[in-house]
Structure 1
Amino acid sequence: MLKVFKARAGGNGSGRSRSGRGKAAVTFAARLAVDGVSRRYDQTLALDDVSLEVEPGKILCLLGPSGCGKTTLLRIIAGVEAPSSGSVLIDGQEVAGPNRFVPPEKRGVGLMFQDFALFPHLTILDNVAFGLRSLTKQQAQAEAYAALERVGLGDYERDYPHILSGGQQQRVALARAIAPRPGIVLMDEPFSGLDSQLRESMREETLAIIRESRATCIVVTHDSEEAMRMGDVIALMRDGRVVQTGPAPELYRTPKDLFAARTFSDLNELPARVQGGRAETALGTFAASDFVDGTEVIVCVRQGGIRLLKPGEGTLGRVLDTRFLGDVGLLEIAVEGHEGPILARVRAADMPVRGDELGVGVDEGGVLVFPARND
């Protein structure tokens, strides 16, 4: 792990910075490989034969619902837990597995917890310097201060965590994670405790700092939009397994199954039976050439793929309800032959009014077909 120390720039002993934010110190990014990792707690299988690879300097988002194994996998990579089977390799060297177990502090990994885990009795500077045990006190404080400057909190070095807002505490936790210049940074749902506006700004700021540091990064999240915005690669998990891995456009456009499709899109789900390579629904007939005749399928139409047409065109529909959501409007539309409303997202300026009759069409580029047995 690269270690370059420098004296505190512009320090006068006052504990207050006089400059803007600096840049995150560059590290040597590490390659991470998870090979067939499983984790069992008594009779519960939390992870089941998980394999992943993360290229140096890339950001991987572990995405999935609560209880799917995301945090367990993160803790095994960090060294907080050991796998029941399989191995973890950093730059080709086994750090967890049948032959070797390297403790967390010797893995070159920075960990950022969901609850920030700041020590209330330590100053902000000492919190950030806590993990720099191999350095002298002066060197550790210089490195810690540089990290605080990067996250915009150099002015708070002598204060204590309780005076900080949630967003500021999150920045301190980030500074502590990057201060040792780790080859890999691990983040366990780092923005879940912040309000929506602050979460968005902190996400962008954190992403910029990670990019500057060039560290390999793994972010645990249950928010698909967050995963798409942050991750170079997304690993979608369910029930302790990796369902699908790839860049965001791939998982969005070609989800592997209905679970993956639901994760990334708001869908209208229409049951159908395949005949002649087509699936007939209340909104039309769609290609289903991958299925044999007689197969029960679910035709999924993204809400944004619903098109509003003139009466007499497409399928006849009647607007049951409208909801203004800012730039877009959400419509509930009744169509003959489908139980329950069809949901459509349209430009707010194009919203009809409740009770209007109109035609309903579908953008076939937004249609996905899955076997019903996978529902």
Structure 2
Amino acid sequence: MSTLLQVENIECRYDQLVITREISFALNQGDICCLLGPSGCGKTTLLRTIAGFDPVYTGSISLNGEVISAPNLMVQPEERRIGMVFQDYALFPHLTLAENVAFGLRKFSDKERKERVCEMLDLVNMSDLGHRYPHELSGGQQQRVALARALAPRPQIILLDEPFSNLDFELRKHLGLEVRRILKSLNISGILVTHDQTEAFAMADYVGVLNQGRLQQWDTPYNLYHEPQNRFVANFVGQGYFIPGTLQNHCNVETEIGLIEGNRAYPWKDGTPVDVLLRPDDIVHSPEGPIKAIVEQFTFTGSATLYRLKLPSGQIVESMFNSHAEFSIGDTVQLEVKADHLILFPQPGANVNETPSALAEAS
């Protein structure tokens, strides 16, 4: 699979304010990626820089092996073959849908332009609405037209800046999957900016997690959830809580809920104080389970209920119960651990520089 977009060690600034630092990643042809992170982390700035709206201070951006942004070089947005879908749709209110889609096709012949408009409206299931104006459409329909307009010139990459944030949850979910289907059918790469993890995981092949202008991890959604590389990613992606423990035998941890056995070895000495990340699916309801906890709060989701539970020490954990297991606030429930692997981080101040003897001998 060929690399389409290469972002290398870029820094972006507004005047002297540094927005992003040392960001590097690659996007392959046909892949969809998502830039995920809290507000103010630099997601939209990074997207605008790729689009050519903002310059880079250091580093470079290449498209198909050609540098399009560098400190002394900036290819204009209209020359990049990069399409953009904005949060507010940015449709022209005085133009019909067909005229909106045709707007970027001035270099096409009349016949080619008409054929492309019909093709794009059909692609987004709006072939019968080309005569209407934007104000006559719902939000979801307007977003489809914005996508059709961005796709019409056949760009190499589509950039989507929180395109579904103005829509309700069900429509957002449906439209996200529809956009993924369309991009995949055309083999067009996409970069989505969002703060919604569910949206990111549903749409993207790869997700880049940003925080304070730095790329924390670039990985598949599965690996971000199961193999977070630092505490920020572990906390930000998915749900979970850290509980304290003590490392034993490099792959087991003693905690207040018992010995948790993992399937990997950590390169720290026995006795290292660690924090264990537990997801709601790592702790399960069990009437005969050895762990007792008090129900602090719960959220019914239909097929399951997410319980917030307090352990005897006061430590808070979360667990997803089958919806038929019904408990009230203050009830005591029994649990067992079903974690098939460990996600550990040394506790602040822990000495982790010494190599465990067992691993040293093995090497």
Asked whether the two chains share a fold, i.e. TM above 0.5, the reply is yes
Q: Where does residue 16 of structure 1 map in the other structure?
A: none
Structure 2: 5+ residue stretches without partners: 350-363
Instruction: Please state how far the C-alpha of 1:356 moved relative to its aligned partner.
Output: 4.2
Q: Where does residue 111 of structure 1 map in the other structure?
A: 84
Q: Where does residue 275 of structure 2 map in the other structure?
A: 298
CA distance in 1, matches of 2:192, 2:84: 10
Instruction: Please state how far the C-alpha of 1:335 moved relative to its aligned partner.
Output: 2.2
- One of 38, 47, 55 as aligned partner of 1:82: 55
Instruction: Please state how far the C-alpha of 1:353 moved relative to its aligned partner.
Output: 4.7
CA contact (8 A) 1:302 1:366 kept: no
- One of 123, 137, 155 as aligned partner of 1:150: 123
State the identity as a percent. Answer: 38
Is 1:247 paired with 2:224? no
CA distance in 2, matches of 1:70, 1:318: 40
- One of 271, 275, 285 as aligned partner of 2:259: 285
Q: Where does residue 328 of structure 1 map in the other structure?
A: 304
Instruction: Please state how far the C-alpha of 1:317 moved relative to its aligned partner.
Output: 2.6
Secondary structure in 1 matching 2:49: helix
Is 1:211 paired with 2:187? no
Secondary structure in 2 matching 1:373: coil
CA contact (8 A) 2:206 2:221 kept: yes
Instruction: Please state how far the C-alpha of 1:269 moved relative to its aligned partner.
Output: 1.9
Q: Where does residue 4 of structure 1 map in the other structure?
A: none
Instruction: Please state how far the C-alpha of 1:320 moved relative to its aligned partner.
Output: 4.2
Q: Where does residue 364 of structure 1 map in the other structure?
A: 339
TM-score (norm 2): 0.87
CA distance in 2, matches of 1:31, 1:333: 47
Instruction: Please state how far the C-alpha of 1:281 moved relative to its aligned partner.
Output: 2.7
Go from structure 1 to structure 2 and tell me whether the alpha carbon gap of 1:324 and 1:98 turns closer, same or farther (over 3 Å shift): closer
- One of 18, 43, 46 as aligned partner of 2:16: 43
CA contact (8 A) 2:3 2:26 kept: no
Q: Where does residue 233 of structure 1 map in the other structure?
A: 206
Q: Where does residue 319 of structure 1 map in the other structure?
A: 295
Instruction: Please state how far the C-alpha of 1:192 moved relative to its aligned partner.
Output: 1.3
CA contact (8 A) 1:301 1:366 kept: no
The number of residue pairs the alignment matches comes to: 344
CA contact (8 A) 1:30 1:216 kept: no
- One of 311, 336, 346 as aligned partner of 2:321: 346
CA contact (8 A) 1:110 1:178 kept: yes
CA distance in 2, matches of 1:82, 1:368: 39
- One of 241, 247, 251 as aligned partner of 1:268: 241
Instruction: Please state how far the C-alpha of 1:100 moved relative to its aligned partner.
Output: 3.1
CA contact (8 A) 2:260 2:337 kept: no
CA contact (8 A) 1:59 1:217 kept: yes
Is 1:182 paired with 2:155? yes
TM-score (norm 1): 0.85
CA distance in 1, matches of 2:28, 2:8: 14
CA contact (8 A) 1:30 1:57 kept: no
Map 1:190-209; keep pairs closer than 5 Å: 190-209=163-182
User: Cα deviation per residue 1:53-99 (whole Å; 9 max; x = unaligned)?
Assistant: 11111111111111111111111111111111111111101111145
CA distance in 2, matches of 1:70, 1:162: 29
Instruction: Please state how far the C-alpha of 1:34 moved relative to its aligned partner.
Output: 0.8
Instruction: Please state how far the C-alpha of 1:163 moved relative to its aligned partner.
Output: 1.0
